[in-house]
Amino acid sequence: MERRELLKMIALVTGSTVIGGELFLTGCKIADKPLVNFTEDIIALLNEVGETIIPATATPGAKAAEVGKFMKVMVTDCYTEKQQAVFMQGIKDLDDACKKLNGKPFMECSSEQRHEFLVSLEKEAKEFNEKRDKTDEVRKKEHEKKNERLAWKDQKEFEGTPSHYYTMMKQLTLFGFFSSKTGMTETLRHVPSPGRYDGSAPYTKGEKAWAE
């Protein structure tokens, strides 16, 4: 699966533009940002969140693809300071919300409790992002009007409100998994590029998608 197509798929699934998507494609690194502290415990937590989103079945899940480490790299290199702050605060908020719902932190919950909790976060994130989009639409128009009155060199790019932290985690889980060796060779069907083109290859319902 080509990276640009993967980003479109993730945006469709999560209902929000993939944060840092263009940087994912170009490999750029944001400069002058604060350091984010990803401890081993945080990476382990993100692995389990990812595993709840993409659990192991007949094929490996997100934890096998080490999505926690992937999130560390992407948040550090591709997120703005504001997005990093939301993500890191979201890690704390996730555990606090889980304790409120289940009486214990995420890592101590059963797989069923984790699933139900993330389903509730999915709903919360959707409502948050929809409200954010409406507010940002107004803010962007006001920002553009201000830019029109400024010289080109003084104009600033509009930065919208970051998505809900769970949206960030889900996007990174999907992107990290399906762009990993594990996801591409064990979950998707893999043919090394360039491979042979077959315009009339047979398809059987239920077959895995192809990776390149």
User: Which domain range does residue 174 map to?
Assistant: 3-137+164-194+201-211
In a domain, 153, yes or no: no
DSSP 91-150: HHHHHHHHHHHHSS-GGGS-HHHHHHHHHHHHHHHHHHHHHHHHHHHHHHHHHHHHHHTS
In a domain, 156, yes or no: no
In a domain, 144, yes or no: no
In a domain, 142, yes or no: no
pLDDT beyond 50 at 77: yes
In a domain, 151, yes or no: no
pLDDT beyond 80 at 89: yes
- Write down the pTM of the prediction: 0.74
CA–chain centroid gap for 35, Å, is 20
Residue 7 has what pLDDT?
Answer: 61
In a domain, 66, yes or no: yes
Residue 36 has what pLDDT?
Answer: 81
Of the two residues 192 and 149, the one the predictor is more confident about is: 149
CB–CB of 119/112 below 8 Å?
no
Of the two residues 29 and 77, the one the predictor is more confident about is: 77
Q: What is the mean pLDDT of the chain?
A: 80
With a CB cutoff of 8 Å and minimum separation 6, the contacts of 190 are 184, 210, 211, 212
Q: How many domains does the chain have?
A: 1
In a domain, 62, yes or no: yes
Confidence band (pLDDT; 50, 70, 90) for 46? very high
- b or e along 159-179 (b: 16 or more beta carbons within 10 Å of the residue's beta carbon)? eebbbbbbbbbbbbbbbbbbb
pLDDT beyond 80 at 11: no
Confidence band (pLDDT; 50, 70, 90) for 198? very low
In a domain, 154, yes or no: no
